[in-house]
């Protein structure tokens, strides 16, 4: 059976216990999966506590991202690879899942180009920021995934990735999950966050868009704000890469993954690709 | 060729660049190794910054350790698994070593018993502390080491381990390295820290003890203070477990590992076991 790739966000209010319980159940059902997780809320809390507050910038093309200087990268690693990753691995072990936590830089699991400068828009003006440690994944080490999967392990993956010139780089978690889903030929990609899916009105859960046909996806970018834009971009990249369907699901409910596989949330894909 | 296990401490003044350069050279020479690292200094700095200062306690049997409540465990994971582990992996990648960083809890690499209470001596009085997240390794997952080693990767390992009842536990890094060395049937265990080796007088580097025969090791515990006691205990456990020799070397010099393998530091083992 093809692999399921699950991305769970790192925003405030994410219930990792429910996500892990659901993953453990899928493991018992012999459905193979790979989890990609975020850690933005923990990174923000840690950044504030260490006196190096987070700085979010909006690129010229309208995407929001975390400006990642070297100090921020190290804080990011502490939150993502330390607290969040090991916390998830511990929860899964407790549920009898043989989990292994890896950052994208481990074994060059996720590698690509570094973008050391970012052009941002601030107060209506364009501005170039240097010393950024961000990047874009071009290569997924599927051989490493295969080796560990064949040995019976379940992978829990997070940024940073490693650049082609060997620097740890912050990469977008949703797009990382999309690249992994493409590389392992996943049939489903489930992207969970602390919203119910794509909403026509972000303040009204009742305006959830339950289904998007791939050829109408681009027209839906107008509804997406902030982080949701990157989720749609990730969905588009995954579908373009051959993934059967992408579901934007709610991480805050019970059995969030199985609910998403059952169609709860925003399902992006062809109706014939619904293979839950 | 049998594996070399290297432990590098996490004290102030450790030169990870020199350690990684040396490991990279050994990798080029096709000498397989596994690195275990500490992170005590970074953990102390982070603990202070987060307003949860470290607490070191002395057990009734005279060994010093970090009291690890849940908050400390999470800080510990951020420093060890986040900043230090990923920093070392990044350095090694830059030197073309296909490094993978793992905590002991990943894939149950290192597992054993949790000790949730610790009897300490404070102000001359015995006292029991509860809610401790520390443990003792009883099992090393050599199969996981073998799978990754066979696939061409080099492992960078740190605590915490996972307890038999699935809780992340702080374990002593030197003793973890000894257990790994025993489990993988290493011929050499090199333990590097920010001292030249075992000194008769800890304030005088010229009193270095260059060689200790295994059957006289116990008599040398009198010279060991603080952290050095655990290094001698780790050495004893490794030798009892079949490791050929243990070298206590200086992490602050150039080529610290090759220097230790060449006999610089305190060599503990039979003269016939010197196979550098």
Q: Averaged over A141-157, what is the pLDDT?
A: 98
**C-alpha B272, offset from chain centre:** 25
Judged by DSSP in three states, A257 sits in: helix
> For B165, which residue in chain A has the nearest alpha carbon?
A94
> For A49, which residue in chain B has the nearest alpha carbon?
B50
C-alpha span between B8 and B190 (Å, rounded) = 8
B74–chain A Cβ distance below 8 A for any pair: yes
Q: Averaged over B192-221, what is the pLDDT?
A: 95
State whether A105 and B89 contact (CB < 8 Å): yes
Q: Averaged over B186-191, what is the pLDDT?
A: 97
How many angstroms separate the CA of residue B79 from the nearest CA in chain A?
Answer: 6
Long-range contacts of range B258-264, CB-CB < 8 Å, 24 or more positions apart? B258/B22, B258/B25, B258/B26, B260/B190, B260/B192, B261/B4, B261/B188, B261/B190, B263/B210
Judged by DSSP in three states, B27 sits in: helix
> For B160, which residue in chain A has the nearest alpha carbon?
A86
Confidence of residue B61 (pLDDT cuts 50, 70, 90): confident
pLDDT in tens, A189-242: 999 999 999 999 999 999 999 999 999 999 999 999 888 999 999 999 999 999
- pLDDT the model gives residue B152: 97
Query: Is pLDDT above 60 for B272?
Result: no
B71–chain A Cβ distance below 8 A for any pair: no
A152–chain B Cβ distance below 8 A for any pair: no
A160–chain B Cβ distance below 8 A for any pair: yes
Structure-token pair, residue B62:
């005279």
Q: Averaged over B264-273, what is the pLDDT?
A: 83
Model pTM?
A: 0.96
- Domains of chain B, start order: 4-273 (3.40.1160.10)
pLDDT in tens, B145-182: 999 999 999 999 999 999 999 999 999 999 999 999 99
> For A97, which residue in chain B has the nearest alpha carbon?
B107
A79: nearest CB among B78, B107, B167: B78
State whether B80 and A82 contact (CB < 8 Å): yes
C-alpha span between A178 and A137 (Å, rounded) = 10
State whether B144 and A153 contact (CB < 8 Å): yes
pLDDT in tens, A34-71: 999 999 999 999 999 999 999 999 888 888 889 999 99
Sign of the Cα torsion A200, A202, A203, A204 reads positive
Give the closest residue to B242 by CA, choosing from B175, B171, B189: B189
A94–chain B Cβ distance below 8 A for any pair: yes
B98–chain A Cβ distance below 8 A for any pair: yes
B164–chain A Cβ distance below 8 A for any pair: no
Q: Averaged over A119-146, what is the pLDDT?
A: 94
Q: Averaged over A161-167, what is the pLDDT?
A: 97
C-alpha span between B223 and A176 (Å, rounded) = 53
Structure-token pair, residue B261:
């393998």
């Amino acid at each position: 059976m093809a692999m399921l790739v699950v991305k769970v966000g790192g925003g405030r209010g994410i219930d990792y216990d429910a996500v892990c319980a659901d993953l453990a159940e899928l493991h018992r059902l012999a459905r193979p999966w790979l989890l990609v997780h975020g850690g933005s809320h923990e990174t923000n809390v840690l950044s504030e506590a260490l006196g190096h507050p987070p700085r979010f910038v909006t690129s010229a093309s309208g995407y929001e991202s975390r400006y990642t200087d070297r100090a921020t990268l190290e804080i990011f690693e502490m939150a993502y690879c330390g607290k969040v990753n090991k916390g998830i691995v511990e929860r899964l072990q407790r549920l009898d899942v043989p989990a292994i936590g890896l950052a994208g830089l481990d074994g060059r699991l996720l590698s690509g180009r570094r973008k050391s400068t970012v052009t941002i828009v601030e107060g209506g003006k364009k501005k170039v920021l240097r010393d950024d440690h961000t990047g874009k994944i071009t290569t997924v080490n599927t051989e490493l995934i295969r080796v560990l999967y064949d040995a019976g392990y379940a992978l829990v993956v997070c940024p940073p990735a490693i650049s082609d010139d060997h620097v740890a780089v912050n990469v977008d978690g949703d797009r990382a999950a999309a690249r992994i889903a493409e590389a392992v030929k996943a049939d489903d990609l489930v992207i969970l966050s602390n919203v119910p899916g794509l909403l026509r009105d972000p303040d009204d859960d009742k305006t959830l868009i339950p289904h998007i046909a791939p050829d109408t996806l681009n027209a839906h970018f107008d509804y997406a704000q902030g982080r949701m834009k990157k989720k749609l971009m990730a969905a588009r990249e995954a579908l373009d890469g051959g993934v059967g369907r992408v579901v934007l699901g709610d991480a805050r409910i019970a059995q969030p993954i199985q609910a998403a596989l059952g169609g709860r949330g925003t399902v992006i894909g062809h109706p014939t690709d619904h293979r839950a």
